[in-house]
Chain A
Amino acid sequence: MIRSYLGTLVDRFGRGWNQFWFSPSDPLTVSLLRLLTGLLATWTLVTYTWDLDRLLGAQGFIPLADLKTLVDQRDLQSGLSGAYRFSYFDYLTTPGQLRAAHAVSIAVVAAYTLGLFSRVTSVAAWFIMLSYFHRTAIVTSQFEAVLVFLMLYLCLGPSGAYLSIDRWLKRRRSPAAATLAPLSSAATISLRLIQVHTCAMIVMMVLAKMYGDVWWNGTAMWWMMLNSPERIVDLRSWGSHFLGKYVLNAWTHAQVLLELLFPVLVWQRWARPLMIVWAQTMWSLLPLVSGLVSFSLAMQIAMIAFVRPDELRMLWAGFTARHPDAEPAAS
């Protein structure tokens, strides 16, 4: 009986595993994710332009020796030793070298965004972003952590299959080529890794919030406004009205509830659309009080990984019905 149970367990797990990771899927979603993460990554690099010497320079605000000391100190406090963080900026010493490397970096990430030589530029763009973030490790925040794993997983799938120059060139060379790109297991692996990683991250986010009173007593959104000089709107005065307090309380509770439910219910067919819409709404609202625009955009992009390609096509069809001049995604 035990042997039968174990045999069934292993068989079911194996079949479930294979279906989850390897069932081929339409690469439209990974292509859309590549475009959006590319835009965000390109913008991120552009924002470094004004601070090359100060943040990335050998004699800037973060000298390399200081960075290594601070990172090593953090690791030692965690019982860790040694570090394995590489950045090509570690080897650039003059402002001229910095500028040249920065220009090339932007060009490569822009090529990735546009879907030019996607297989190569996706890996190169990921490596470039890592180099920037490792070199400025003590000034990075939540956003960089999300962007990096999205870009890593998009390296695995055929993210240039749609919405890309690669596809345009392919169709130009061979007009008879199929309208639809072939289904791909690599696209599924890429999407699944983004989904699993996103859920793990949200679990950790909500567990961390459970430590704080402010997420229990409904005042977190108000504190966030108070603490964030980069907030987009200032609703602190709402705290002086009972209705405003209730709104801020409800907003806080809704954020916690979302993070509690999302990792569980997003896998349920009937709940998934609701979870995605709810999450997109909450991540849209968060920057209003926190100023975390880039992080919220990265989270919104991650949420798109849960939208099935056929649903994306339906959304696109609805859009093109209203805008007949728009180019269809699949062509």
Chain B
Amino acid sequence: MAPDAPASTLAPGVQTVVSFLLFVHLFALAVGITSNESPSELETALRNRTGVRAYLEPTMMDLSYAFTFTYGPTTGPGGDTQAWVEVELNLPDGTKRTEIIPGTFPYLRQRARRYESLARRAVTMIGNPTFESMIPAAIVNRLVAETGATGGTVRCGWRQLPVVPFQPTGEQEHTTYQARILVSDGAVELFKIESASESAPTAEKKADQKIEGATP
């Protein structure tokens, strides 16, 4: 690194091989980074057909690194606004228990961030009939297994943030998904509530009998 640094400690042959590997790595990295956000056909082809994905995906370097941290005012759940999943459970003893994701985790921000991401992922999929109940159903299934709940309600929503900078007023909460939880014979079903009416089951997940503590 210094101008008067001694010669490489690697043998010339090894150095040649390492140079080749560095070229390959940097090429793959460049393709991986640039092929995430609005990729050209060339970038997509390079990523798919040159083994780049088989190299970058296992190493978790197939990312765009386009970290903006904030998009500012958001008018929908797809931005960086706060999202939540609320599960209200009817416990066997007749009481109710409410679990909200993300919860609060003082001093453990990494935990909080994971649950924030989970809630955001759940909310951003709402409106897609194939996927919208996937995460709520998984969350409910787990919580029913943990608590032995006999029913309840699950809601997903997001907070509409102010649209005028420097004026922190006008926050609104929107519930964008709501479903009734039905537990019978070891199976957990979600019945999506649309306005005042109920639709057919949107998700059905068989509770695994092997789960410790699971109560049919």
Using a CB–CB cutoff of 8 Å, the interface residues on chain A facing chain B are: 17-19, 21-25, 43-44, 47, 50-51, 53-55, 57-63, 66, 69-70, 73, 78-86, 93-95, 130, 133-134, 136, 138-145, 148-149, 152, 182-186, 188-189, 193, 196-197, 200-201, 204-205, 207-209, 211-215, 217, 219-220, 222-224, 226-227, 229-230, 236, 239-240, 245, 286, 290-295, 308
Contact, CB under 8 Å: A183 / B70: no
Query: How distant is the Cα of A133 from the Cα of B19 in the complex, in angstroms?
Result: 30
Nearest Cβ on chain B to A214's Cβ, whole angstroms: 3
Task: Enumerate chain B residues within 8 angstroms of A149, measured Cβ to Cβ.
Answer: 60-61
Question: Which chain B residues border A145 with CB–CB below 8 Å?
Answer: 60-61, 63, 65
The residue in chain B whose Cβ has the minimal distance to the Cβ of A299 is B67
B129 interface contact, C-beta 8 A: no
Least distance between A244 CB and chain B CB atoms (Å) = 9
Residues of B within 8 A of A66 (CB): 134-135, 138
Seed contacts A23-B5, A136-B114; 14 additional CB < 8 Å A-B pairs: A22-B18, A24-B5, A44-B110, A47-B108, A80-B44, A134-B60, A143-B110, A149-B61, A152-B59, A186-B9, A205-B66, A208-B37, A212-B68, A219-B72
Closest to B119 in A: A139
* Majority secondary structure of chain A interface residues (helix, strand, loop or mixed): helix
Residue of A nearest to B55 (CB): A84
| Cα separation A61 to B37 with both chains bound (whole Å) | 28
Say yes or no: A201-B65 contact (C-beta < 8 A), given A44-B110, A84-B57, A183-B6.
Answer: yes
In contact, A138 and B117 (Cβ under 8 angstroms)? yes
B148 beta carbon closer than 8 Å to chain A: no
Interface residues on chain B, number (Cβ under 8 Å): 78
Q: Which residues of A contact B53 (CB under 8 A)?
A: 80, 82, 84
The digit string for B137-174, where 1 denotes a CB below 8 A from any CB of A, is: 01101100100000000000000011001111000000
